[in-house]
Amino acid sequence: MVKDGNLSMFERLGVALAKSKNTGNLDVVQLLQATLAPLRIELHSYFPELSEVESKLIRNPFTVNVHLLPDNLQEEFLELVNDSAAKDSFETLTLTKFWTRMSETYPVVSDVVLNSFLIFPSIYRCEQGFSTLLNMKTKHRSRLNVEHGLRVCRSNTTPRIEKILCNKQAQPSH
């Protein structure tokens, strides 16, 4: 941890402090702590910590004690744990594919798990959209309606410029 002076996750900073003859390492650690504290609060607002039970439920539902789960999950969870086809699927599929497949049969339990999976991608896509919009809205390009431009920028499809240009006439004759 940074407060203990462990800077292993900041490799270059650790090397620079080791090379320097300055004894102000404590000041650097305090500055780093002050910088990281708001970041930690921000991350917790985006990604609330999962309880140990939720974490076990996501990683391996067959090891979770049913009494630790909320009452609304217990009945469906017992059916899942005793389903031999689900156990076979768990051993052969990735976690995301397993829980997606279980969402049809066990919707209540899988909804809890899939909501945990969806936190990062949905926040990432939203933040990415705002960054794209910020790059589009410049002093020279300040249109109010950015729907079409934003859609083009956010699309995964590469435009076929040559085909678009072939369908356009450069200058209509008079």
Instruction: Decide if 121 contacts 96 (C-beta within 8 A).
Output: no
Encode the chain (174 residues) as per-residue pLDDT tens digits.
677 767 777 778 777 777 776 666 667 778 888 888 888 888 777 766 667 778 788 888 888 888 888 888 889 999 999 999 999 999 998 888 899 899 899 999 988 888 877 766 667 777 888 888 777 777 666 666 777 777 777 778 887 888 888 887 777 666
pTM score of the predicted model: 0.48
| Residue 14: other Cβ atoms inside 10 A | 15
Q: Is 52 exposed, middle or buried (0-12, 13-18, 19+ CB in 10 A)?
A: exposed
